[in-house]
Structure formats: C-alpha cells, structure tokens
Structure 1
Amino acid sequence: MRMKIIAGAALFLIAAASCVSQKYDYPFRNPDLPIDERVDDLLSRLTPEEKVGQMMNQTPAIERLGIPPYDWWNEALHGVARAGKATVFPQAIGLAATFDDEALLKTFTMVSDEARAKYHQYQKDKEYDRYKGLTFWTPNINIFRDPRWGRGMETYGEDPYLTGRMGLAVVKGLQGNDPDYYKTHACAKHYAVHSGPEWNRHEFDVEVTPRDLWLTYLPAFEQLVKEGDVQEVMCAYNRYEGKPCCGSDKLLIDILRNSWGYKGIILSDCGAIDDFWQKDKNTPRHETHPDAESASIDAVRSGTDLECGGSYRSLKKALKDGTLKESDLDESLRRLFKARFELGMFDPDDKVSYAKIPYNVVESKQHIQQALEMARKSMVLLKNKNNVLPLNKSIKKIAVVGPNAADSTMLWANYNGFPTKTVTILEGIRNKVPGAEVIYQLGCNHTDNFVMQDMGDKITSNAGTGFLAEYFNNTEFKGEPVFKGLAQSLHYTTGGNTQFAPNVNLSDFTARFTGVFEAPVTGDIDFELSGNDGIRLYIDNAVVSEMWESEYTAFRKYTLKAEKGKKYAVKIEYMQRSGMADLNFSVGVRKPVDFAGTAANVKDADVIVFVGGISPRLEGEEMPVDAEGFRKGDRTNIELPKVQQEMVKALKATGKPVVYVVCTGSALALNWEDANVDAILNAWYGGQEGGTAVADILFGDYNPAGRLPITFYKSVDQLPDFEDYSMKGRTYRYMTQVPLYPFGYGLSYTTFAYQNAKLSASKIGTKDKVTLTVDVKNIGKRDGDEVVQIYIKNPNDPEGPIKALKGFKRVSVKAGASEKVSIELDQKAFYSFSDATQTLEVKPGSYKILYGGSSADSALQGIDLKIE
C-alpha cells in the first residue's frame, strides 16, 4: 500500500494535527496525514448530492472545498490518447507480437512520463476536461478468441499467458514504482468473458464452462490484480450467467473482491449501466432492470464504484427513497478518493516526484526512437520465397502500390494520440533508397471496386495544402473552436472511439472545413460526401448539397462543371449529435479499378511492393461500417477484400517479384498470397514510425523477429460460431486442424539451432519449480533475435489445452554465436482444472516440456518431466 504513515507516539500525532488548521484549510489537504484520515475528513464534509456526483466519470467541482472537476476517463492503449501531441507506438496487437515484455515495460514507462507531464501542464492551465487526467483505461486484456472481433487489435492476442505477461508490463510501466504515489492508474478491462461480437454486446449473455472461465478468460485478470497491483478494473458490457457484468456478484464480489482480494476501483464500461434498463429499438439492451434507480442500486451493491455514464444520477432518488444508504456510497467513495490522494491530486507539486517530469518528454527524440524500435520488433515476416528479402539498396526502380501505402492515420490505429510527424510506408521506402526511382500507384481502395482520381491536393487554405479545420464542442458552431488546424484528408469516424481531432468530443460537436479548389481540368468534377446528422457543402458561398438533421446518408455527390485554372471557394459544415460520427469527403473523378492499367504502369519496376490489408476505419469498436465482409466493426469473413486480391493477382502476372506488406489488427486468410507472392511482411498498425520500420526490414537494416500472437486461420470454416464462447476448436491451444500460420510463428533473415537443452530436475513435487536451460545458436550469416518459446503438454488433463505457452524469452544472438537461455516454470505453469473441485491444481503424472521458435509441432523439441 502506497501511503505515508506517521510513526511515533500519539502525542506527536496530536501535535501534527494541531498544525493542520494553521497550514492547511482542511485536514484532507495535509499530505503528512495518513491517507485514510484524509479520506475520512473529506467524506465527512460532503453532502449526499455531492457524493453521488463523485461516482460518475465526469465529477463536478466542489468549489466550497476548493476541489476542481475531474474526469476519470483517459486512454493510453499505445500512447497517451486524444489530448493533442503524444508519441504513437504500434497498436497493442503489434506490441504483443514483439514477445518482449521488458521492452514493453520501457515503452509504457515513457507513456506514463508523457501522461504525467501533460497532466501537470493541464493543471497549471486549469484544464480539467476529458482525457487530461491520470486514470488510464488500459490495458485491454480480453482474450482474442476469434479473428472476426474488430477490437481484437486492442488486445495482446489469443493466449492467456502472453496476455498476462504483456499486460503486467503495461500496468507496471503506467503505475510506476514510487513508494509514496502512483504515477498513473492502469485499468484491466473488460472484465470478464468479453470478446465480441460488437453488434450485440449490449444484450449478449455469455455462456462459458467453468473450465474455460478459469483456464482462458480469467488468468490475465488474476495476474494483474495479484502481481500487478492494478488499481482499476472495468466491468464489461455483456451479461455473464444472466447478469450484466457490472452487476454480477459472482464476478465482482465472489471472484474479484473475495477470492483475489482486490481492493481497488471497479468502474463500468461507458453506458454499461444504461444497458441494464434502457429500451432502444436501434440497439437492443439487456433490460434486466425496470429503471435507472434499480439498475444503479444493483451495480453499487455489486461493487461498481464508478460509472462511465449518467445512470448513477438516480442514486439521489434512491437515497431519498431509502432504497440505498449513504454508507453504501461511502464504501465506493473511500476507494475513489483514496485513489486520488495516492495519485497526489490533492498535494503540492513539490511533494510529488512525478510533477518534476518536464513537458519536453512528450514526443521526445528518445520516445520516437522507442516507437521505431517497437515497430521494428513487432513486424512478422510470414514468407520469404528464395530469400527475395532483404532488397538490395542499389535497386534502380521500385513500384509501391496499395491503399495503405500512403495512409498515415491507418498507422495510428484506434484509441490513438496525435503525433507531430508520421512516416508512411511509402515515405519510409523513399527515404531508405533516395537514389532509386520509386513510383506510387494507389491501384485500389480497401474494399471498393472504384478509385477516385484524387484532386484533393488542389484544395488549399491559409493553413497549407488542404482544408482549414475548425471544431466546436457543441452542435451550433458556438464560441471559439476547441481545435483549429490543417486537414489534408476528410475521412473520419469516431467508431472505434477515435477522435476527429485533439480535444474534440466523440459526440455532440460540429466542424467547419474551408479552402479553395483550383480545377486542374475542364469538365465534370465530383464532390462526394457522406455523414450523419448534418452535412452541408458550399461552393462559392452557395449551398449545393445539404443533409441536415437527417438520418445517416451513405453517399451524396455534387458534380461541378469546372473550368481549368478557375478557383472555387469550398466550405463543408458537419454536425454530429448522437451515436457515432462519420464523415467522408473526396473530390476528383470516380473511375473503375483498372487492374491491367495499374499492372502496366509498374511492370518495368525491379520489384513491386503492395501495401494492403485492412484498416482501423474498417475494424474496431462498434463502427458504422457497411462493406462486404465487415459488420459494425467486426468481420463476417477473414479473407482479404476481393478488390485487393484481384489487384495482387494482376501485379503478380507482370512476372516481377511481389512483396506484400500487410497492415491489419487481426488474422487474415492469405491463402492465395502465401502460395503465390514472393514475400509477406505483417506490419500491423505500426504507429508513427511504422513506415521507417517497414523500410528497415525490407532493405535489411533490421532483421525481423516478431511472432504471431494469434493464429492465422485458412478461413472461417476452421472456426466455431462467432457467438460461441467455448474454446473448443479455438486458438492454437485447442485447434486440431492445421492453420495457415501458427501462433508464435515468424521468420528471420538468419537461422537458429537449439542445443544442449536440459531441465534442472527430471522429477519435481506439485509445488516445486523447474528451470529449462537451452543454448540458442545463430547458424546463419546475420545477427538477429530469436523468440524462445516453451509450451507444456499435459496428458493428465485430456479436456485441457493440447499445449499451452508457459514461458518465452526474446534474445539477440550474433551470427555464429550462442546464447544460453534459462526460463523458470513455476507451479502455475502446470495447472489443470479439476471438474470435481472446480479449482486449479497440479496433477501428478508425466508432462512434456516443448521448446522452440513457434507453437507448430514441427518447430518444437521436447523433454519429459515427472511430477509426483
């Protein structure tokens, strides 16, 4: 417990207390008093109405006590999010692919440095709104059990052990190691048994066996609670055994509080309490309670201390009705205020060591370098036929094609911050080989069978090439903009909880975009718009297209009879009132995808690099996406979109080597590509330095060593139903079929051999540990990293996993050299689930310890171990 406790005689305590009135307005302001005393003092001064207000994420100020407002909602999934400049690291699934929790700890220590620096600057500027606090709702440690789930990219993959190790590193990096104060709060989410589908998460009742609950869905949460001292846990939207998770006494009281001894804060996912009682024809909900009051009472009594939402306002009525006691609120409020004291929010900056972190750490050179390093470490080489990679830097002509090649915001993924500079994959390649001719062709979009002959670069403003964008956190364009800047591309969505711009609401906002369009040709030029709630297009100050206070309109086109060289004033007004915001604008001439034409334009290149895959504008959290293969942020299949498949086939038909750079947050069925293209590099959503990292790998300045944290299936035919939460047939742990690429898989530009493997003992007791030691030799000609993986096969539990990851270590090995790797396996590594006792236990018997560079049986060697 991190608190200052005054030691010594009672007389000293009395003397110290007597100084309070002289130095501090109230005892709760005195940093030298024990935190429990400070909490008691503060609680004693609050009215019932004030107490209710402090149990929702947007807490109002208590001006008479000098307490400013505070919003608990902040995000840091892969860097500080949504509040202006920050370093953007690779998306979480890419971080998982590093298989390097030490590097992840370093990364999130940097993230929390930026968080603290930004927080203290906001406090000085008296900015108290959302995304400016110290309580971060990350990491997402749900199990990525099915590749169709759009939010899987926010997780650390399909394996409970990997998820626990990586999640633990995030928590430690965020919360720090100061003996007196937490650096920030981390939050383990979404508890529990939550991983899609997105379209029914507000009404879905999960059915899962106790075995799957304890072996798959709970281990990472337990680890973060018991080993990580995680300070917040977010309960999920879905139901479990008939009860919404935020009102589940089994999950919140029996397991989390009583069994694991968790003493921190439980908070609801945003709007989760609304799902208990609200009726909505567009979004079906649980409707387990008749009204907000009964729903809120149940949530509080089940231990949900903080609501993200507004249902808890009804607690005022519950107090008046006598259906809830003020003491019931106090139990939660003690946890909430204790947290704020432990973060130093009520103490002078000179008492809080973290207040000394300078603002210039935000997106500093060191942090950008770490973003590059993590991007390099994350990327997984899936195929390298005839060693076509790495490419020779003396190459004369390179063609770069595809919808992700020049897309910077794709690299940010979702729940993102805003970097000052993002290196696209196209830029990365051009920067790497400045002497080569690099030709770029869009070729095709992600899913559409047409492309725009884009003329967006003909729009300019006083901010530069592109629109001048102004955003207002109201629906009437009132007051001063909350953000003003350059918008080069108008393709936005708040699906996946992504902001349009820093400091802009996710809902109830307006935007104005102004610029001048200089027509490059004479003839018809199309201005294409789509949006929801309200959108207007002005040409030369006249409204030419309007959809205002209307339902979502998928597409609207205005055709301008343009004269070459003439300038036209363009203004777009956008209004979003409810639900998710979505805005798209393009200007140019729409044409069908020309597969043959694109191939003809690049056929003289020495190599063709196709940069495709999917996009965070297609997969994510409950998104308004209506494209073939996608549904509300999830996917209905895992194939590449057809238009990309056909484009790659056309490029391959040129006879030139084709290197496929895949950007994705989840598994793709790359069957034709695996059989036909020359090389495949999975680059995930690589963050602000993703383009540099891709180029470093393509041209051999970095030897890839990322490993898949998820199974790449051949098709959805290898998967059970998406809504079936049973683990049977899912992930490498229970799958009996052969996947396209197995969990833990990844190629290198060198080769490793495992030698002299031995266990510290051939027999151990059920409570003992054992250590595997093995020499890893680099028998190739390049320095490189190897990810040593240990799996345990437990024949004593036929209903358990076929094999399960229980240890890993990423090591760097020079060409021709060896590194000795030792990995300890503790009692938990051998846990089985007992159907008889409904508990985890170590069963005596023979076990197989498997070690190697992938989960595939062909990549593993084994040693027998006897447990007695």
Structure 2
Amino acid sequence: MNRKIVISISFLVVILCIVSCSNKVQYKYSFQNPSLPLEERVDNLVSLMTIEEKISQMVNNAPAIERLDVPAYNWWNETLHGVARSPYNVTSYPQAIGMAAGWNPASLQTMADYCATEGRAIYNDSQKKGNTGIYLGLTYWSPNINIFRDPRWGRGQETYGEDPFLTGTLGKAFVRGIEGDNPNYLKASACAKHYAVHSGPEWNRSTFNAEVSDYDLWNTYLPAFKDLIVDAKVSGVMCAYNALDGQPCCANDKLMNTILREKWNFTGYVTSDCGGINHFWKTHKTHPNKESAAAAAVLHGTDCECSSDPAYNALSKALADGLLTENDINTSVKRLFTIRFRLGMFDPPSMVPFSDIDVSVLEHKKHKEHALKMARESMVLLKNENKTLPISKSIKKIAIVGPNAADESVLLSNYYGSPSEVTSVVEGIRAKFKGEIIYEQGVNIADNEVFKSQYNQKLFTHNGVEGFNGAYYKNTKFEGEPTVVKLDKTVDFQWADGEFVADGVIANSVSMRWTSEYTADRTAEVTFSLKGDDHCKLFVDGEKKIETDLKTGFYTFQATKGKTYKLVIELVQYSDNAEVKFDAGFIEKLSPLEISNRVKDADVIVFVGGISASLEGEAMPVSVKGFKGGDRTNIELPAVQTEVLKALHATGKPVVFINMSGGAMGFEWEAENIPAIIQAWYAGQEGGAAIADVLFGDYNPAGRLPVTFYKNVNQLPDFEDYNMNNRTYRYFKEEPLYAFGYGLSYSTFAYSNLEIVQSDGEEFIVSANVTNTGKFDGDEVVQLYVSNKNDEKNKSIRDLKGFKRIILKAGETKGVTFNLKNEDLSILDDNGNSLPLKGTFDFSLGGGQPNEKSQDKNNVITTSISLN
C-alpha cells in the first residue's frame, strides 16, 4: 500500500477518535447518565448515600447532598385550583367543588395542564435564581378526592363532591392534565389525597378513628382512589390524619399494605399529611414514642414525612433499636428519587421538554379565558320563578347588597394563588350594566356590624414622617436585632410563603412589628380594623386590643381631637401565606328595614351572600355561631342574611339571591320565597364576570350540583358517623331541598329514543337523542343513572354511571352514547372484588335524577332490563 495513503488513513483515525472522545460526556456518577435505565440510575444514587443522607431525604424539606451534586428539594406544593402560595402572580380557577359543578372533565384536564405549565415556569425561574424553598417545586399535593359525605365538613369545598364516580372521573382528568402524556417525563406530579376515609370533623382529625363497613369502604370511600391509582397511574398519594379501625391511616395494615401496595400495585411515593406521623404517639396514642411511630410509617410505605418537627429524625434510633432495617429505608428513598428523576431534575435541561417554559406563561391570556369559562360552567341555577332571570339590560337601576358582593377574597377560597386581578360581583355587574347601580353591603356574613373605612394616611406618623416603622425579624419570637428596618407607608401586605417580605427576609418562620403614632383629627368614636393570617396583634398605648388569627378584629374607642395614640402591630408567620391589613374608620349597624329602604327604588335587587373560606376550611380557630374549627354546626344561611332577604323581598321588587359557599346550604325560606337563586360557590378570579354573564343572559347556566342540598341538619346523621346510610343521593331516603345533579337552564331539553343494546355480553351501549326545545343556546349535562332494587347485596337507591356536558343550539338535536361494562352493574365485595348484581335494572337518562319531587323536573326517560 502506498505509504502516503497509510499515513492519511492513520491521521483520519486519530481525528475521528479525538472527535468521538470529545463528544463523549464523562459522568462523575452513573446516576447522572441519562442514557441509563431509570431504575439503574436510582439504585446507583441511593447506593452512594450514607444512612444519614438517606434519612435526610425522607422529609418534605429535603436538604442538598453537595458531595453527590444532589440539590435541595421541598416536596410541598399545592395546586388545588391554580398554583397556590407561590410568590408569583398566577391564574386562579374556581374552587374544586365549583369545578365539579361544571361536570366537565375536559375543562378540568385543561385547567390542570395550565396549572402544570405555570408551575413549571415558577420552578424553572426559581431554579435559575437558586431558590429551592417551599411552594416552588413540581410535586403538587392535589387533588383532594375524599367523598364529601356531610355538608358540615369545611374542607369539602376542596373535593369533587359526594359521588365516587363523578369524583373519580374528574380526579383522573386532573391527574392527566397535571402529569401530561410525555413518555419519558412527568410535566408535574399529582398526589391523590387524603387516603382514606377522611371527611371531617376538622376539630378532632388528629384523634379521630373512623369505623366503616367493608361495603362502604369499597363502594364509597375507595373507588375514586382506585380510579386515580390503578387507571390514571397517579405518581403520589397522601395518607390521612385520622385512624381507620384503630390504626392511623399512614400506618394502616389494610389501607397501606394490603390494598395500596399489594392489591393495587402502587409504585409511586406516599407522603404523610403535615404533622401526621407525630400524631401516632402524641394524639392517637397508638405508639409509645417518636421512633416507633416513624418506623411504623416507613414499614407501611409512607416514604416522605411532611412536618416542621419530623418524627423521621428518630429513624436512626429506630434502626439502632431494630425496629426496621436500612433496606426499608432504601425502599422509600428509591421511590422518592424515582419521582425526581421522572420530573427531569437530574437530566440536562435540553432533554426535558418543559425546561424552557418561562414566566411569560403566568396569567397567560388563554389561562384567564379558561378561568372565566370554568367559572361560567360552575354556576348552578337553582330557581328561576316567573323568568326573573336573565335581567334585562334596559332597566334603569340595580341594587347590589350583601357581604360577598364586593369581596374579592371570597372568590379565591382556600389553597389559593394570587392573581394580579380579581373581578368581584360588583365589578362584574358594573362592566355590563350601564344604568344606575346602588351598592350597599348591609351586613357581614354572620352579623350586622359593618366596618366602613375612613383611612387617612396623614394621621399615622413615625418620628414625624407619614407611615409605620417596620421591623422584620428572621425568627418567630422578635429575638435579637431586626434584619431589616424600614418605613412602610401603610400596613397592607399579602405574602406567599417563601416570598421576600423585605431585603434578605423571606416569608417563612418570621416575625414583623410595625409602630406608629395616630393623632386624632376629631373627637369621635373610631374603630381600628386588623386583618391577619397566622398570629396578628394590635397594641394601643401598650395594651393589647386585637388578637386575630385568620379573620378580622376590631377595636372601637372614643378618640379625642389632637391626642396621640401609640400603635404597635405584630405579625408572626410560620408557614403558608401571610396577610396583614390595618385600617381605620367606623362601625355602621343597620337594621334589615334600613337596608331595604336604601335600595327599594331599584328595579331589581341582587343579594350576594352565603359564607366564605374564612369560616369554613381546614382546622380553623373560628368562634362564630354555627361554625366550629373550620366545620359547620348547622347548614342554614346565617340568620342575619335571611332577615335582610326577608326585608328585601317585602319591597315587592324582584330579588336574586347569589349564594357563595363551599358546601351545601339549607336555605329553606329562601328556596320557598326568593324568585331566583344561583349557587355560585367560590368562583375564582373571574367569578364576578361569570356571575354577571349569567345574570344578564350572556351565558346560559348549566351547572349541576355535585352534592345534595339538604333542608336542614335534622336530615343528617351524626357528623362523626361514617356509615353511609341516609347519606348522599345514593342512600338518602328523604326529600332534599335540591338533589344531587340538579340545575336549571334558561332553555329546556327533551330526551327521546332511549335504547340499550347488550354487546357480546361484555358491555351495554346506552343511547338517546337530546333536543334543545327552548329559545336559548346552551349546554345540557346528560346524566345516566342505574338503579337495582332487587338484589339485596346492593344498598344504594341509584348510582351515577355516566355523564356528558354537550352544547346545543336552540332547536338542535344530538345523539349521546354511553358504554357500560358488566362491572358497572356490579358492586364490590368485602375484598374489593367485583360482584355482579342480578334482577331488574332501571336505566335513567336526563338532565338530573329521576323522580325529583321538590323541584322542576328536567326531562328524564327511563327503561328497564333484567339480568339473571
């Protein structure tokens, strides 16, 4: 061979080798190599960790392992109805119960996808800034798929209602939206909670032991969890605070080992509810100490503990005492890191398809439009006597009355994020109605002592300068010198956990103190108002006058012109959002007659009332009649509102009652006497606009109740009784105020040609035609119920087995079809296995349940088949 050719070939080989070697990435550890199988990468990483490092990763606030290039990560994040509690402005959708009232899985999946998009933007931006704090991660502890079995439960607003099928269907849509469909990466991680048999009371959740029959467990409390875990392959589960049959849920043999891991083959991670493991030994008293509690939780598959004082800190002692093995620890740590790898946290950003999502997507136009769409879909028209609605825009004067009419915070409910704009009902009506509008709050939710602001900034000074001297401490006890001291013009702040409240001070385990001198400009009765989350206090001349937690407090005194009063405001924030607002003005107390006299000249009166998440919610220190610890002791509308509605009704003018609440209300007088009623839930940032659209007919309401509205608490069993007998539409034997699935429209719908065809013995095809027989275009929620009263093994009256929300123009007809499998005509036995039912089955198709006695019927058609 020619020597020159040999040299050339040799040179080419060298060049190719150099190029090849330069393109080959050198990894310090195998787990960093994205080309290796996921399981191999996780195994490698865990094998490199010391036992102390492994244990450190089993809490929500997992620290960095710098020697292995493992970054810190906080598992705790929320996106119940929009990304919650972050320091960014985000889109806020209707509360979960309102989204359930829309009966639209496609809308819910889109909402969840948008939440994951905004969540990725927040995560990506935070990573660039080196911020790994709470509420910035990609593991969202949502959705809440507990069954809303009793309307008194304050957290029921976070659920999708009382029906297992509706809850499971919507929950699966949420999971698919959050987690996405990428074959290699999760867009974000969803978490099914609270597993299981958890739905109040709030005041004793850390000691409560739920006792249920196997029939109720499998046929009511577990179906939605199975839907998400087995069908939707949700990546996370949160175990509940309460105990079941004497064992805490997070260490329950039946729930955690037999069902979750063995029967359902769940391979994702489980987190405790926050502080729940310490409840084992502190409140449930099922374990003697912290180390035994921690070991029991791990052995039952609770991989992550959420707590500010983790019981898992005692796992080292539990190991030394032989309560568990390092292999048990390894199992949990591997599950946790599997999720982080699936989220792309250890791969180059160029490989992760969501890594380029930036903050420009936050509050994107299409997200806000979808928030409006879902708010519209959530509206349930309960009554419309004499076609009071829609309101004609040609009338001259509208009066708006009520405690929730101008309140923006009521629309955001709980577990909320902070949108840059929220539209109240008053603002929504003003944007549409060009005539005269009279607004009169009239009353608060539960009393008539209405605060009227007359805040004059010039009257509050520090060292002669307008404002408040703010001192910000990086601890919760005002210890040492403040980190930051600055002048704040007013005390009116709202911070998300982890947001900077001042230079170098992040809102998490901090305390703040503001001081100022108030000089009265007149001799008169003055009221100071202080609203604050966490722990908030007002001192006047050294004496504590207001101490408030999650609500507003007032202090009224006789001020003397020219006299100076020293004010001190303190706020201690531990975690979660922080809010504080100081105001000054006076208290106005009006009688119902005085209120009605102020608005009686209006052509239509719109009363916006109900309750709010400041009274119903999670373990809240509320001391208001009718409410207890976040729950309710009755379900009636607060009496002060009913009295005002009676006075408004007495004017003879048309009255529209808009009720906002997270749970069912028992407003019997209102249902009997007020001509038009809308159940508006907590409708999110576009709630006021959506309500105005319905009021004026720009949107035809089609929402349906996801819960039964009972007449009063006398129709309810004991709150702590988890037996499903006489609970929810499936077992309730009396006449409700408004039935599950109920809701009116401005149009009418007719059903025809109901057919049931059995296909190959494996499924039943149910079909019918639906016609819009009215003059309005609109949606119809088609509901399929199946009833079997002949088989003694079945205890339910009827069960929802299918639903579709369809759009029909006036006069239009569409066909609908449902496919039911044999298991849809079965119940679950005591081991969770499908048990076919026999006898006669009634199939009912319509806009609501059949045989609704108390309200106007939607057209419903029914047919029967017999199975042996």
**How far apart are the structure 2 equivalents of 1:796 and 1:784?**
38
**Of 263, 279, 283, the match for 2:267:** 263
Inter-CA distance 628–819: structure 2 relative to 1 (3 Å threshold): same
1:133/1:706 CA distance change after superposition, 3 Å: same
Match of 2:696 in 1: 699
- The whole-number CA distance in structure 2 between the counterparts of 1:400 and 1:600 is 13
Residue number among 557, 569, 572 corresponding to 2:569 in the alignment: 572
2:446 is equivalent to residue 427 of structure 1: no
> Alpha carbons of 1:658 and 1:467: their partners in 2 closer, same or farther (altered >3 Å)?
farther
- State the Cα distance separating 1:528 from its structure 2 match: 4.4
Q: Could you tell me which amino acid in structure 2 is paired with residue 301 of structure 1?
A: L
User: Is the Cα–Cα contact under 8 Å of residues 466 and 489 in structure 1 kept in the other structure?
Assistant: no
Local SS of the residue matching 1:286: coil
Which residue of the partner structure matches residue 83 of structure 2?
80
- The equivalent of 1:289 in structure 2 is 287
Aligned amino acid, residue 97 of structure 2: I
State the match for 1:523 in structure 2. 524
Q: Deviations over 1:152-203 (max 9, x none)?
A: 0000000000000000000000000011101111000000100000011101
Farther-moved stretch of structure 1 (60-69 vs 823-832): 823-832
Contact 2:537 2:547 in 1 (8 A): no
Change (3 A) 1:552 1:857: closer
Cα pair 2:179 2:189 within 8 Å, conserved: yes
Structure-2 change in CA distance of 1:124 and 1:431 (3 Å)? same
Partner Cα distance (1:722, 1:351) in 2: 51
C-alpha distance in 2 between matches for 1:500 and 1:632: 27
Match of 1:718 in 2: 715
Question: In the alignment, does 2:777 pair up with 1:779?
Answer: no
Cα 1:719–1:349 change in 2 (3 A) is: same
1:535–1:547 contact (8 Å) kept in structure 2: no
Q: TM-score, normalised on structure 1?
A: 0.90
Distance 1:856 1:650 in 2: 36
Q: Given that residues 786 and 798 in structure 2 are in contact (C-alpha distance below 8 angstroms), is that contact kept between their aligned partners in structure 1?
A: yes
Tell me the residue number matched to 1:39: 42
Question: Equivalent of 2:651, from 642, 650, 654?
Answer: 654
1:97 equivalent to 2:101? Answer yes
Q: Deviation at 1:758?
A: 1.0
| Corresponding residue number in structure 2 for 1:841 | 835
Q: In structure 2, how many angstroms separate the alpha carbons of the residues matched to 1:484 and 1:59?
A: 36
Amino acid at match of 1:217: Y
Distance 1:620 1:556, change over 3 A: same
Residue 469 of structure 1, CA deviation: 8.6
Cα deviation, residue 819, structure 1: 1.1
- Separation (CA, whole Å) in 1 of partners of 2:472 and 2:671: 45
- Aligned residue pairs total 830
Q: For residues 98-113 of structure 1, what are the structure 2 equivalents within 5 Å?
A: 98-113=102-117
Distance 2:427 2:549 in 1: 39
| Conserved? CA contact 1:142–1:193, under 8 Å | yes
* Distance (Å, rounded) in 1 between the aligned partners of 2:808 and 2:787: 28
Is the partner of 1:289 in helix, strand or coil? coil
Contact 2:530 2:546 in 1 (8 A): no
Work out the CA distance in 2 between the residues paired with 1:141 and 1:467. Answer: 45
Q: CA deviation at 1:57?
A: 0.7
User: 1:472, 1:483 within 8 Å by CA — same for their partners in 2?
Assistant: no
Asked if the contact 1:764/1:866 (under 8 Å) is kept, the reply is no
Residue matched to 2:586: 589
User: Are the counterparts in 2 of residues 151 and 620 from structure 1 also a CA contact under 8 Å?
Assistant: yes
Note if contact 2:471-2:482 (Cα within 8 Å) is conserved in structure 1.
no
Aligned twin of 2:14: none
Q: Which residue of 2 aligns with 1:184?
A: 188
In 2, Cα distance between equivalents of 1:797 and 1:657: 49
Deviation, 1:476, is 5.0
Matches of 1:603 and 1:138 in 2, distance apart? 46
Determine the C-alpha separation between the residues in 1 that align with 2:571 and 2:527. 19
Give the drift of 1:318.
1.7
The alignment status of 1:857 with 2:851, answered yes or no, reads yes
Q: For 2:738 and 2:546, how far apart are their aligned partners in 1?
A: 48
Is 1:687 aligned to 2:684, yes or no?
A: yes
Whether the aligned pair in 2 keeps the contact of 1:147 and 1:666 (CA below 8 Å) is yes
1:740/1:189 Cα in 2 relative to 1: closer, same or farther (>3 Å)? same
2: CA distance, partners of 1:851 / 1:267:
40
- Give runs of aligned pairs for residues 42-57 of structure 1, distance below 5 A: 42-57=45-60
Look up the equivalent residue of 1:36 and give its one-letter code.
E
Residue equivalent to 2:8: none
Which runs of 5 or more structure 1 residues have no equivalent in the other structure?
1-16, 279-284
The AA in structure 2 aligned to 1:57 is N
| Residue pair 1:380, 1:683 contacting (<8 A) in 2 also | yes
* CA 168–22 in structure 1, closer or farther in 2 if over 3 Å, else same: closer
2:446 maps to a residue whose letter is T
Cα drift, residue 396 of structure 1: 1.1
1:95 partner letter: M
Equivalent position of 1:9 in the other structure: none
C-alpha contact 1:534 1:548 (8 A) present in aligned 2: no
The 1-side partners of 2:549 and 2:405 are apart by 33
* Superposition pairs of residues 410-559 of structure 1, within 5 angstroms: 410-433=410-433, 435-456=434-455, 474-476=475-477, 508-512=509-513, 522-529=523-530, 535=536, 537=538, 543-546=541-544, 557=555, 559=557
* Partner of residue 830 from structure 1, selected from 819, 825, 833: 825
Does the C-alpha gap of structure 1 residues 730 and 227 become closer, same or farther in structure 2, counting only changes over 3 Å?
A: same
Deviation (angstroms), 1:581: 8.5
Give CA deviations for 1:549-607 in whole Å, capped at 9, x if unaligned. Answer: 9999996725262549x999966222356999897855322243322211111011111
Answering whether residue 791 of structure 2 is matched by residue 791 of structure 1, we say no
Q: Does the 8 Å CA contact 2:145/2:224 hold for their aligned counterparts?
A: yes
Q: Residue 713 of structure 1: CA displacement? A: 0.2
Alignment of structure 1 residues 147-186 onto 2, 5 Å: 147-186=151-190
Higher mean C-alpha displacement, 608-617 vs 648-657: 648-657
1:628 aligns with 2:625: yes
Mean Cα deviation higher: 854-863 or 357-366: 854-863
CA contact (8 A) 1:580 1:623 kept: no
- Aligned to 1:164, the other structure's residue is in SS state helix
Corresponding residue number in structure 1 for 2:298:
300
SS state at 1:624 partner = coil
Instruction: For residues 387-422 of structure 1, give each alpha carbon's deviation from its aligned partner in whole angstroms, at most 9, with x where no partner exists.
Output: 010011122111111110111111000000000000
Distance 2:731 2:536 in 1: 49
**Which of structures 1 and 2 has the bigger CA Rg?**
2
Q: Judge conservation of contact 1:535–1:546 (CA < 8 Å) in 2.
A: no
Which residue in the other structure is 1:225 paired with?
229
Q: Distance in 1 between matches of 2:732 and 2:723?
A: 12
Where do 1:711-790 residues align within 5 Å?
711-761=708-758, 765=761, 768-790=762-784
Residue 384 of structure 2: aligned partner: 384
Contact (CA 8 Å) 2:168, 2:228: kept in 1 or not?
Answer: yes
Structure-2 change in CA distance of 1:18 and 1:708 (3 Å): farther
Deviation string, structure 1 residues 650-688 (Cα, Å, up to 9, x no partner): 111111111011110000011111111121111100000
SS in 1 for 2:355: helix
Question: Post-superposition shift, 1:236?
Answer: 0.4
Distance 2:468 2:746 in 1: 44
From 806, 813, 818, give the equivalent of 1:811: 806
Give how far 1:825 is off.
Answer: 1.3
Amino acid in the other structure paired with 2:447: D
**Unpaired runs of 5+ in structure 2?**
1-19, 853-857
Q: Which residue of 2 aligns with 1:212?
A: 216
Amino acid at match of 1:454: S
- Output the CA distance in 2 between the equivalents of 1:95 and 1:535: 33
Return closer, same or farther for 1:536/1:668 CA change in 2, 3 Å cut-off: closer
Return the alpha-carbon distance in structure 1 between the equivalents of residues 491 and 770 of structure 2.
49
- Deviation, 1:759, is 1.5
Residues 780 and 580 from structure 1, CA distance in 2 versus in 1: closer, same or farther, beyond 3 angstroms?
closer
Note the 1:399-418 alignment, pairs <5 A.
Answer: 399-418=399-418
Contact 1:526 1:587 in 2 (8 A): yes
Instruction: Provide the rounded CA distance (Å) in 1 between the counterparts of 2:470 and 2:747.
Output: 49
In 1, Cα distance between the equivalents of 2:485 and 2:819? 53
